[in-house]
Structure 1
Amino acid sequence: MVNPENDVANAIARLRQRSGGDLIDVHAHYTPPLTEAGLAGLLASFRAGNFTAPPAGPWSVESALEFMDGHGISVQMLSSPNRLTPDEAKTHNDFGAKVMREHPDRFGLLANLPLIDPASAVSEVDRAAEELGADGFVLVTNYDGAYLGDPRFTDVFAALDDKRATVLLHPVVPAGFDVLACGRPGPVIEFPMDTTRTIVDAIYARVFLDFPNINFVLSHAGGVLPILAERISSTGLLPWVSNPRGVTKDEVRQQIAGLFYDTALATSPNALLPLLEITSPDHIVFGSDYPPGDLEVIEAHMDALSRTTLLSDHHLAEFSTTATTLFPHLKARSDA
């Protein structure tokens, strides 16, 4: 009988060999310790989101390190991708910064920006970068139905551009989720859809052209964006489609190709083939989606990545090179 633990160990060893060593995980989540009221609120949000049970158990430094050590991961960039109030964002960011300070060679921080209050988000860009030493930032796909092309977010993008920041973009459920989701939780259908909604909105608003110093990393290989990219650059630019800023086909393709994409839960050919049609391997980085991605699912995707013929060993080795370029503070901490 095949031992599943040996299968996982073999997959991790194969991936480490092909990629030249341990991986940098740009898509990993954390939660600060929850009060009783906070836990009750979290469980209520899961029920409202069509989950029949929480997608993961409580996060801890110890469990994260155990996962990393067992799966060939040297560093995780921690993020809390939620629509948070300014006070909540500070609490989450302060806790994440504490974890990073205590384990500087194992964790980085992508600070949450509360775009529901753009002025507070601008302040948090400066605080997280200057006081907390954050490696980058995390944004979600929409803020109560406002997508990233919304002009209310212009000052936030200007602040991020000034910092030459790297931003992980993570999906959340859209407005109208109750009628769109077919009774399924967001990760099943709407997360990959909402990633595409917000990127297309930003493309028409020329966000990626106006703020070229921001490096955006899209979760889950960009969701369904790679599949729809050609449609957006053709049908999406016909005369009967609103395009007030006059974005051209070449500019659509330029903006999409300039984004970065992580492999979290997106390592099969039906994810990688469309992705490689719109960008180059040096714009791909490794992501696990630990812990909510589910350990068995994460391991299956790591096995698929270790066996893929769509990316060469050189391309897999570039994952970590690209990650250290996107997060230079991480490299500085590792060299210290």
Structure 2
Amino acid sequence: MRKSFYQFMKEKSLRYYTECEDIGKDFFTSPELDSIFGHAIGELIFKLIGDYKNPTILELGAGRGTLAYDILSFLKTNHPSFFERIRYLIYDFSPKLRERQRQVLKVFEDKVGWVDELPSFSGLVLSNEFFDCFPVKLVKDETELYLEDGKEVWLPLSDERVKQYMTRLNLRNPGVVYEICLDCVDFLERLSKSLKKGFILTIDYGYLEPPALGTVMGYKGHRLVKNLYSEEVFDITAGVNFRALMEYGKDFGLEVVFFKNQRDFLLFSEVFKRELERLTERQDPESIERLSRIKTMLISMGERFKVLLQRKCSA
């Protein structure tokens, strides 16, 4: 049976997140390393929409619910009047992860809700490792990758939208396999239409210029999957083309506020820097352990992960 790599990746990802009970068994994210990550984001959220009358925070793909918990905890402690005004919505299609999120966020049950469709609101859209889950088309020299009985077959490229995307982003080097994510563009457009006024904060691993070796990978048990085309269930992802999000974002009324590495984003945060200095001065085992995890956030993940903030002005 023949299917495009795009369809294969879409089915694989859907199966993984439908069956997934705990993403932590296959990979870890920055919020799982230390609460200071969520506090830094909470600080930024207050700076951006602290004066909104009835602000909404919409998190896309909330994982275990850890990031939401840390953001809400920070806002409740440091900005109580703002905390009282906000509502926190989660957009996540995994029933098992939703249940885990409800357990983690039980203390905030009167503040948090779950949605199946993108609502119309003013506030901030937040995602951490969400866009990397969208399937990509693999294209090389006017051909697209298909799979037939687990083997690669390259067939003539017929999708006109893919051709337009490649022309717009100047993806024309011969012999290079490009990862084309039209779903990312389409979802960004949906977000922009839902957001009446506010910001979209996207945190993910990705790039501005496509790396020569490609970025599609599979993870299982914190290890890279050697055979991407196997039938086993695992997380399959692709790096986010942030240039595409910025370029197409202009069509959707989104302007770039900043784009930076995760390391630079965190070191710009006053909350993060104060806590880092406090931990550096201490020698107790817990502080040393936290410092080790924060270094992972800054060094191992600091360059690879990017932070994009876009603004949607009111119509």
Instruction: Give the TM-score normalised by the residue count of structure 2.
Output: 0.31
Instruction: Give the TM-score normalised by the residue count of structure 1.
Output: 0.30
Larger Rg: 2
Where is the strand percentage greater, Structure 1 or Structure 2?
A: 2
